[in-house]
Chains A and B, each alone.
Chain A
């Protein structure tokens, strides 16, 4: 029996140690090890069915695990009941109690822990004020709008003073306008300086009188932009395992594998060969990649640090072992620029490669325009130069900014 067994001392709010989670007939998640600090916000990204929700439910104690341990603040809670884990799980759409007023919904976690009704209501009212719903305290939950219900659910979750807060696609059910509004409000609240002490003195003060008592937050989402915009860290789950664990900016610029790049929806994939000396050759030209090539390397090489410094790379073994290997250059659209002035195409440099291309599609969107071009056998998506208005079929100047590209191994193809 591991109940309440004390794990190794740790400053982490949550640690998953070699966790195995199966669900339905799916293989599930295998040997998952993740650690979260207090106040850290982590996004879990992954395709439908990969087990994101199952993982959250397992952490919350709402479903069992098939192996490994869930450790909250150094305490092994793998076999501890859900209500004694210090972990609050919020469903996709708010599950407010219809028979209680908004105020009593928020006060619920306090009352079940033995706080007097009067005090719990006072503290609930303070939390409702924090989510700008103080005026709705006496209303029934079903009279609230979707966004208001989300905010009440969050206030209620914070009333429980959790060490870990799990949000399962919290904004998925909201329409786009409301979504932006609510998620902004939610994360402002979560990032507040006094998060976790919103309700005054903690009930079980011994556990909570720590310097950093903001809950660690895990948010499951399908929305990559949401994950990147709202969290400090993103974990991509693919095929039952962690495919990448990175800061948001790094994830988008340096996907660890072709699978991750494809999952993220990066638009550009250029096949090529990476020689042992670090030269990457593709239909768009050649450039030299910084060597040696360690997949764990996270710093973007600076153009000024070395003449040959250029693209980052997650390709390692072949290049460092002395043989050439197939690799893919992947990037966002902003690694490529198209301009009208074909005559101005210059010789390539170490950090940029110039060529000509033919426009095959122009995609006008709210966020800006992108242009799909073909250069030889390769198609890439690029952004147009200011003042340039590419038309389909036109020949344009294509510039690839090597520093904005990334190389991944060919293993996932």
Chain B
């Protein structure tokens, strides 16, 4: 704008001033209005992001803990405390949560064990094998869970594991191992394998190397890997239903049942319980990752 002011006053001098106008345009200081607008936009975008992220959670919270609101009121603080207590103490919710937690933990540990071995083998393989194996490790991640589930279901049924918790565990381990392998591939590519060689050379047996060098040196990434595998299992619905056949009642399965039955309150409570542990785990892992320098 200041450039236009410089160029405009005398039309007769337009050509004379053209050069100065151009140069003025070039050297114009940062526009204060623009930066203010930019700051405002950023604030608005940030606010929108917060609303979009938190609104569903807030709704879940209120639906679960507050009496059902009647239109046009969205919510009200009036209500029956017994209703809230009945949700919080609902046995179905807690039992399914325990099943989910057990499956998640076992999945996390199993996937990490398998993923570590796979990633280690891939990292140490020749170039060609490494490329192929890395691509194969991606498959369970790329494939939609439902597609993967059909395949796992056939295997589980033939193995006599249909409807069994062990069959569901097997089903969860498949995609979880894919994610964990990819994660650990990144970790092991930067891991200093020379430490293990030097430990061997210094007199440590392979087992001593694993226990005294590998595990301590990789503790943080392995914990993250277990959490990653557990999270894949925790939110799993399609595979649980396909292989568990409805007999294995995890939290997502019960959530679906509550929603289908029109019990919004229990559905919301289950949804909240499904959300909170991953959020806590995420915060914990983020702190751990920051401490190890993985993120800033």
Contact = CB atoms under 8 A, between A and B. Distances in A.
Interface of A: 60-62, 81-84, 87-91, 95-100, 108-109, 112-113, 156-157, 159-160
Given A99-B217, A112-B212, A89 B198 contact: yes
B223 interface: no
A90 B217 CA distance: 19
B205 A83 contact: yes
B49 to A, nearest CB: 38
A95 B194 contact: yes
B22 interface: no
Interface of B: 192, 194-195, 197-205, 208, 212-213, 216-217, 219
B201 A87 contact: yes
A83 B198 CA distance: 9
A90 B198 contact: yes
A57 to B, nearest CB: 8
A108 B200 contact: no
B217 A160 contact: no
Nearest to A82: B200
B195 A95 contact: yes
A179 B208 CA distance: 33
Contacts of A97: 195, 199, 213, 216-217
Contacts of A112: 199, 202-205, 208, 212
A91 B196 CA distance: 11
Contact of B202 (A61, A99, A100, A157): A157
A400 to B, nearest CB: 49
A87 B217 CA distance: 24
A88 B202 CA distance: 6
Give the one of B201, B208, B219 with max A CB within 10 A: B201
Contacts of B204: 83, 108-109, 112
Contacts of A61: 200-201
A99 B215 CA distance: 10
Q: Which 4 A-B pairs have the closest CB atoms?
A: A95-B194, A99-B216, A109-B202, A112-B204
A109 B204 CA distance: 7
A341 B194 CA distance: 60
Given A97-B213, A113-B203, 19 more contacts: A61-B200, A82-B197, A83-B200, A83-B203, A83-B204, A88-B201, A88-B202, A89-B198, A97-B195, A97-B216, A97-B217, A99-B217, A108-B199, A108-B204, A109-B203, A109-B204, A112-B204, A160-B202, A160-B203
B194 A91 contact: yes
Contacts of A91: 194, 197-198
A370 B179 CA distance: 64
B30 to A, nearest CB: 43
A98 B217 contact: yes
28 contacts: A60-B201, A61-B200, A62-B201, A81-B205, A82-B197, A82-B201, A83-B200, A83-B202, A83-B204, A87-B201, A89-B197, A90-B198, A91-B197, A95-B195, A95-B198, A97-B199, A97-B213, A97-B216, A97-B217, A99-B216, A99-B219, A108-B212, A109-B202, A109-B204, A112-B202, A112-B208, A156-B202, A160-B201
A27 B201 CA distance: 26
Contacts of A90: 198
A89 B201 contact: yes
Nearest to A113: B203
B213 A83 contact: no
Contacts of A60: 201
A72 B197 CA distance: 19
B138 to A, nearest CB: 28
A111 B216 CA distance: 16
Given A97-B213, A97-B217, A83 B195 contact: no
B195 to A, nearest CB: 5
A83 B207 CA distance: 11
A95 B213 CA distance: 11
A60 B203 CA distance: 11
B222 to A, nearest CB: 13
Contacts of B212: 108, 112
Contacts of B217: 97-99
Nearest to A87: B201
Nearest to B196: A95
A113 to B, nearest CB: 5
A217 B205 CA distance: 23
Contacts of B199: 97, 108, 112
Nearest to A96: B195
A87 to B, nearest CB: 7
Nearest to B193: A95
Contacts of A160: 201-203
Contacts of A82: 197, 200-201
Contacts of B216: 97, 99-100
Contacts of A98: 217
B192 A95 contact: yes
A358 B208 CA distance: 68
Given A98-B217, A99-B217, A108 B202 contact: yes
A169 to B, nearest CB: 13
A399 to B, nearest CB: 52
A156 B195 CA distance: 13
A104 to B, nearest CB: 10
A83 B199 CA distance: 8
Nearest to A91: B194
B251 to A, nearest CB: 36
A165 to B, nearest CB: 10
A99 B292 CA distance: 12
A113 B205 CA distance: 10
Give the one of A97, A100, A159 with max B CB within 10 A: A97
A139 B262 CA distance: 61
